[in-house]
Structure 1
């Protein structure tokens, strides 16, 4: 079995707000896109594992976002929640080509 991915355009690099989230709906997934102070762009599932807070509305610090509901700290790179809280969110690979930013979204698992 092989999992395929779909490359989906989410915006121009210069139009992404720095250290603020942007919500994008891709297929049946709601994804938060973040342009970090370093210039890197990251994409994660847009729901906190605690109570479903919208992570794109959270405060970004370094490579973490703080859930706006209960201040859970979530790593934007690997999706892990910082202890003592537990949980994780799905992360998505981001590709930048010239000025365009794409997110790689897994399709259904296919047989090869």
Structure 2
């Protein structure tokens, strides 16, 4: 766990919203997905600098071959409260243009504690 530092206890992280943790000058959103995996994003929207992780955790839709829409990725998307930009929590990618990304951090769990690697 070299280069990792303590972020929070795993019990503090909820499945339906971000847990916001301050580390120095960085605000980090911590998420627990439906599969139990833990992810961390910088609480800063790359679009206009809003507090990204204070928006709702949701899913998104995709078009089917029958010209209908299917709801997918339930509780795996964070939506910026300012302009509605949606990012995949697992990858940090903007769902409309995967080249645009929110800053994602590596996480590890040890003894019911969440650790984060802040360096790239």
3-state secondary structure, aligned to 1:80: coil
Q: How many residues align?
A: 103
**1:86 Cα deviation from its structure 2 partner:** 6.4
| Higher relative contact order structure (alpha carbons within 8 Å, sequence separation ≥ 6) | 1
CA RMSD of aligned residues (A): 2.1
TM-score by length of 2: 0.74
Is residue 2:56 matched to residue 1:43?
no
TM-score by length of 1: 0.79
CA–CA distance in structure 2, aligned partners of residues 93 and 86 of structure 1: 19
Q: Which residue is equivalent to 1:53?
A: 50
Q: Superposed, which structure 2 residues align to 1:89-108 within 5 Å?
A: 89-106=102-119
Residues 46 and 94 of structure 1: is their aligned pair in 2 closer, same or farther, counting only changes over 3 Å? same
CA–CA distance in structure 2, aligned partners of residues 95 and 84 of structure 1: 28
Is residue 2:19 matched to residue 1:22?
yes
3-state secondary structure, aligned to 2:119: strand
Q: In terms of mean alpha carbon deviation, does 41-50 or 11-20 score higher?
A: 11-20
Does the CA contact (< 8 Å) of 1:21 and 1:57 recur in 2? yes
Does the CA contact (< 8 Å) of 2:12 and 2:19 recur in 1? no
Does the CA contact (< 8 Å) of 2:105 and 2:116 recur in 1? yes
